[in-house]
């Protein structure tokens, strides 16, 4: 499965050129908007993409209750994982009640940032237990609303999760003992170089969003890689000072944009 995209060289130059993309789907749980998720899942299958499926283990967020619980949801997650999807732990209950934006401060309230470390560790451990009891093997942390702090990173390490999908660098890198695979885009945008994670929220995708994604996949599907592959090829690399500056500048631009939304 990993080798199926033979047109991507097995070793990357830095940054990868032409650009490569990852697809991440957030807020998955049995009550995800059934119709929109069906449409998005059909595109993922049609273009043979290996996505990161960010699953809320025990959703309690009313915003994520858009359809009746789908009895086939967990079967579908298992089937997609068997075909090459990576499973992400998307928080625990998705209740963003902590008034703390964490390291990235992209939202005023988050689920994890600012919560006592032992509680964060318990939430992560419970979330992992729930997903594992469903026969899934979560490998990547996806923080609700980008909210994580130093305690989250320690808790993740102690629970055996070694990778995070977040941040604004153009390249995966190691930081605080964890592999960071940046997530910089919320729609398909053509890039010349670098590794770009496109984060999608099926609950709020419009028909236009789906059509735009289809157009992007038509042109660029061959340039999509998988988290598994990226993790295997990039582990151990730290960001150069230039890349750190670039990432900080992108983060500041994003922060400025968000400040107008608060």
Of the pair 205, 239, the CB lying nearest Zn ion is at 205
Alpha-carbon distance 136 to 214, whole Å?
28
Q: Please, which residue, 144 or 182, has the CB nearer to Zn ion?
A: 144
Write down the least CB distance from residue 250 to Zn ion, Å: 21
Q: Binding residues for Zn ion, per CB under 5 A?
A: 26-27, 144
Q: Which is nearer to Zn ion, 26 or 33 (CB)?
A: 26
Contact 111, 151 (CB under 8 A): no
What is the closest distance, in whole angstroms, from the C-beta atom of residue 98 to Zn ion in the complex?
A: 14
* Minimum CB distance to Zn ion, residue 119 (Å): 19
CB 75, min distance to Zn ion, A: 22
Residue with Cβ nearer Zn ion (58 or 233): 58
- Judged by CB, which is closer to Zn ion: 136, or 239? 136
Task: Kindly state the smallest distance separating residue 54's Cβ from Zn ion, in Å.
Answer: 7
């Amino acid at each position: 499965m990993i080798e199926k995209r033979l047109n991507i060289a097995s070793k990357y130059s830095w940054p990868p050129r032409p650009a490569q993309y990852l697809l991440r789907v957030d807020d998955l749980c049995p009550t995800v908007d059934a119709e929109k998720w069906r449409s998005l899942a059909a595109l993922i299958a049609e273009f043979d993409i290996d996505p990161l499926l960010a699953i809320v283990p025990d959703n309690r967020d009313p915003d994520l209750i858009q359809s009746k619980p789908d009895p086939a949801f967990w079967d579908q997650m298992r089937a997609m994982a068997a075909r090459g999807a990576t499973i992400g732990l998307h928080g625990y209950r998705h209740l963003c009640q902590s008034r703390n934006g964490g390291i990235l401060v992209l939202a005023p309230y988050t689920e994890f940032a600012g919560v006592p470390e032992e509680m964060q560790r318990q939430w992560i451990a419970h979330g992992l237990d729930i997903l594992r009891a469903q026969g899934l093997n979560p490998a990547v942390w996806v923080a609700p609303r980008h909210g994580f702090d130093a305690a989250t990173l320690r808790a993740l390490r102690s629970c055996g999760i070694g990778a995070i999908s977040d941040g604004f660098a153009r390249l995966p890198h190691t930081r605080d003992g964890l592999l960071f695979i940046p997530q910089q885009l919320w729609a398909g945008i053509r890039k010349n170089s670098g590794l770009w994670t496109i984060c999608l929220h099926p609950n709020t995708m419009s028909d236009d969003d789906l059509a735009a994604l289809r157009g992007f996949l038509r042109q660029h599907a061959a340039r999509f890689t998988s988290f598994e592959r990226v993790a295997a090829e990039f582990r151990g690399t730290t960001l150069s000072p230039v890349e750190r500056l670039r990432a900080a500048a992108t983060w500041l631009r994003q922060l400025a944009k968000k400040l107008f939304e608060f």
